[in-house]
Structure formats: C-alpha cells, structure tokens
Chain A
Amino acid sequence: MDLQEITERTLAGDKRALARLLTYIESGDPSGKSALAQLHKHCGRAHVIGITGSPGAGKSTLVSQLTLELRRRGNKIGVVAVDPSSPFTGGAILGDRIRMQELIGDPNIFIRSMASRGSVGGLSAATRDVVRALDAAGFTHIIIETVGAGQAEVEIVRAAHSIVVVMAPGMGDDIQALKAGILEIADIFCVNKADRPGADQTASELRALLTLDQRRKSGDWTPPVLKTTAATGEGVEKMADELAHHLSYLEQSGALQERRERQARSEILALLYQSMITHMNLTIGKERFGAIVGLVASMENDPYTAAAILAKELGIG
C-alpha cells in the first residue's frame, strides 16, 4: 500500500489502514518507519497509561473497566495488550481480549494484541511505535497492558506517562514480595480483587511502606494506593480521576517535558546504536567482528582494547 495513502487514512481515522500500519510497524517493514516519520508531528496529544503487574492480578479486566470509564467521559481509547511469545517457537496465544469483550463494537475504541517477540522487559520492541501510531490516529488515551511475566518491567517507563502497578491480595503479591524496582516505577498502586479477603491489609501495608520512602522530595508525586474490584468496576472511577491528576501533575511540574526528552534521548540512542551495527556489518563485516570476538573469548585480548580497535576501524575512535 502506498505510504501517502496509509498515513492519510490513518490520520483520517480509518481503522483498517491503522491496523495495517501497525502490522508494518510490528514486522519492521520499512514502510512502517517511513509512515511514522510522517506521523510524528501529529503525536504527543494522547495520555499514555501503562498497566503492569503479575499474571492473573486482573490487568486485562481492569483495562476493560478503565476503558469503559474513560469512554463515559467522552474519550477515545486505544488499547495495546502485550502477551509473551514462546522463546522456543516464536508463537503466542494472545488472550487479553477475552476480558475485553464489552469494548468491541464501539467505534471509539481500538484494541491491538501484540506478542513480545523476543523482547524482555514487558513490552515488545515495536510497542512504542504502535503507541505513536495510535496517538497520531487521534486516540486521547492509550492504555498499554504489559506482559506481567515477573521480571522487572522497566520498558513501560519509557513508553507511558502514568504507570499503574496492579496487585491482587493472596496471590503472592504481598508487600514482602514486591519486585525490585516496582516501587520506583509506580505512579498509582492498585490493589485489585478488593472483593477478596486481604485487600485492606495489602493496601495499608503498601501505604506504610510508601511513607518510609526517603527518596521522594516534598512536592513530588506521591503514588496513591487504590482498591479496585475490576470484576464489577468498583474503584475504577477513582482510578480515572487519579490518572487525570497525575497527568496534570506531570504537566505543571515540568516532568512531562522531562519525560519526553528522556524518552526521545533513549530512542535516538537506540536507533543510533542500530545504525552503527548495520554500518559495522557493512564496512568491517561479520567475519572481522567474529575474529575480534574470538580473541576476547580466548583471552588473547581484552574487551576494552577490542572495542577501541573496532572504534578506530569504524572511524569513530
């Protein structure tokens, strides 16, 4: 499909063109990149929300309820749901939609399931670009559901403005078991399955823990601890309120601009790194690179010297 057509139709809100563009982006097709370059100036309007937490905590159910609540407030919502790919076959079962049945048929909601395709960190390599395309297509809110596979899901920090960490009581999601890094990335804590015993205790332990956090300076955002029952939607209204508060905090404190710059920087550096690798393959070649690697592996050379040699040969050292 031609580039101009796909960008124009995406901007005009044509869902089939958008869906196809996302396929190009996901598969690393060059036309996806070219389209994104053109769409970039239309981005930056959406509030990007990340939902992370262990499998079974209720993320998909919560995404569904939050989407319905944001719709009631007159918004347009894009959902990106990431599930893990099998490291052995590359295949995946993308099942988050099972909990999002109520969202289908509303023209102002668009859901895309993605497989992690070998990425660790809770998202797939293309997630950020997919979010960007949805942003350009005019969605006011984009909700990303991460894999939730148990490792620290750091990637979401680079993709979202506001991060909700979802926990469920009595599932090993106890405060003592909080994964390293999760306290730092949460903008909102959500104790889901509040209809089950133990939710109050989890919530109050969490609050106690947060008051002990010395790193937060006065004026910093203090993550609220919310209780939800995603199964019924209870508590989700409050979550939508808190998300809106968080966005205005980001805007007023200048943190939004900071985040944007940080994200842009990391993205440019990643692309630069990629093009350096491509350049290296084309100029120095895989064979020469392999030989240098071999010398380090056999302890005949050290990695610092090896890198210095490569840098020199690339003309950047």
Chain B
Amino acid sequence: MTDQQQPIVIEGSGNAQRPIRVLVAKPGLDGHDRGAKVIARALRDAGMEVIYTGIRQTPQMIVETAMQEDVDAILLSILSGAHMAIFPKIMKLLQENGVDDVLIAAGGILPDEDIPAIEAMGIKGNFGPGAKTQDIIDFVREHIDKDRLQKPLSAIQQSGSPVEDPKAGETAK
C-alpha cells in the first residue's frame, strides 16, 4: 500500500478513529472550479471526507457550512483576484463564531505581494498553479488540529436556536 492509499484517520478521545473531514470552498463569483475539484478528488483518494459545495459561496455560507459539518479544515480556492476582499470577511465571521480549531488554507492565484497579508490573517498554505496534490495532502494532514475533539468548544451560540417555538419561524406565504 502506498502512502497515498493509506486511510488518514485521527485517533479520537476513546478508541474511536475517524477520517479527516474538510470543506473545499469556492468563495465569491469566481467560476474557476477545476483546481477545487482536483484537490477535492485528491483528498478523497487520500482517505479524507471532502465536503464540496460548488462555486459562488458567500463568506456566510462557507462559515455556516464549516460549522454544521464540523470540519477539520476549510480549503479556500480562489483564482479571481478577489481574495483580499473576501478572506478578511471569512476570518471575521469565523472569529465571531468562535471557530478557532479549524485549519484555514488557501490556494489558486494569490500574488506573492499579498501572501504576507494573507498569512497575517491566519490563512496558511497559499498553493499556486502546479502545486502537487501530494504536497497538499501532506500539508492538510500535518496542519490540522488533531486534538480538537478533546478541546472545549467556545460558548458562542448561533442566533435562532432550533428549539424555539416552530411557529415563531413562520413566514408569510
């Protein structure tokens, strides 16, 4: 069995093991989805569970999806040049929701001069054209927080809890 075929699992707090879960997201109006699909497939073939939501994701959609799916990593693929406008919004929402145990990585067309600012936001990776999928797999495997299941969740609650009176959410038809 080659390394790439080895299922990637994380030891749980008990004797439980689980595959790494990642969200591959395409923020903004960028339609370049080949790279996102390439990395989604490569990570799947490396044994990860990859949530792929398609193009045209707003920061809200990305953060909400990541929270509901409880992923280990959010992988942002962007080639449109809008990263400096979108990334700060995503990072702000993550912070507001207390999501501090998830690896945030990016790739696509990210000019060298923007990389320091992107990294200062807490976004890692920054892979560009020609990046080897094996390097991306290794990167994810190495940088996710393997102990996140043992850590306490921050106490920030989302508005609109599911237990409020169902009728309260009723909207005019």
Contacts and interface: CB of A to CB of B under 8 A. Distances in A.
Interface string A110-135: 11110101000000000000000000
Contact of B69 (A12, A73, A112): A112
Interface in B135-173: 149, 151-154, 156-164, 166-167, 169-171, 173
Contacts of A11: 163
Nearest to A137: B162
B5 interface: yes
Given A20-B70, A91-B44, A93-B44, A76 B169 contact: yes
Interface stretch (A97-105, A226-234, A258-266): A97-105
B68 A112 contact: yes
A90 B8 CA distance: 8
Given A15-B68, A90-B47, A95-B52, A31 B18 contact: no
Contact of B50 (A17, A31, A78, A94): A94
Interface in A3-37: 5, 9, 11-20, 22-24, 26-31
A109 B13 CA distance: 29
Contacts of A20: 70, 149, 153
A88 B5 contact: yes
Contacts of B17: 27
Contact of B14 (A31, A94, A105): A31
Contacts of A13: 161-164
A108 interface: yes
Nearest to A134: B162
Given A19-B67, A112-B69, A89 B5 contact: yes
B49 A94 contact: yes
A98 B41 CA distance: 16
Contacts of A17: 153
A11 B162 CA distance: 9
Contact of A91 (B14, B49, B68): B49
Contact of A92 (B44, B67, B97, B167): B44
A178 to B, nearest CB: 31
A290 interface: no
Contacts of B164: 13, 138
B30 interface: no
A71 B160 CA distance: 14
Nearest to A141: B166
Contacts of A115: 19, 49
B149 A16 contact: no
Interface stretch (B53-61, B76-84, B112-120, B122-130): B53-61
A219 interface: no
A201 to B, nearest CB: 33
Q: Which of A9, A23, A28 has the most CB of B within 10 A?
A: A23
B158 A19 contact: no
Interface in B66-96: 67-70
Nearest to A95: B52
A13 B152 CA distance: 17
Interface of A: 1-2, 5, 9, 11-20, 22-24, 26-31, 71-76, 78, 85-86, 88-95, 97-98, 101, 104-105, 107-108, 110-113, 115, 117, 137-140
Given A11-B163, A86-B44, A89-B44, 11 more contacts: A20-B149, A23-B70, A24-B16, A28-B14, A29-B12, A30-B13, A72-B173, A76-B169, A101-B54, A104-B64, A113-B69
20 contacts: A1-B152, A13-B161, A15-B162, A16-B153, A23-B70, A24-B12, A89-B5, A89-B45, A89-B46, A90-B9, A91-B7, A91-B19, A92-B50, A95-B51, A98-B53, A104-B64, A105-B60, A105-B64, A137-B162, A139-B162
Ranked 7 nearest A-B pairs via Cβ? A13-B161, A107-B160, A138-B163, A74-B170, A27-B18, A91-B44, A90-B7
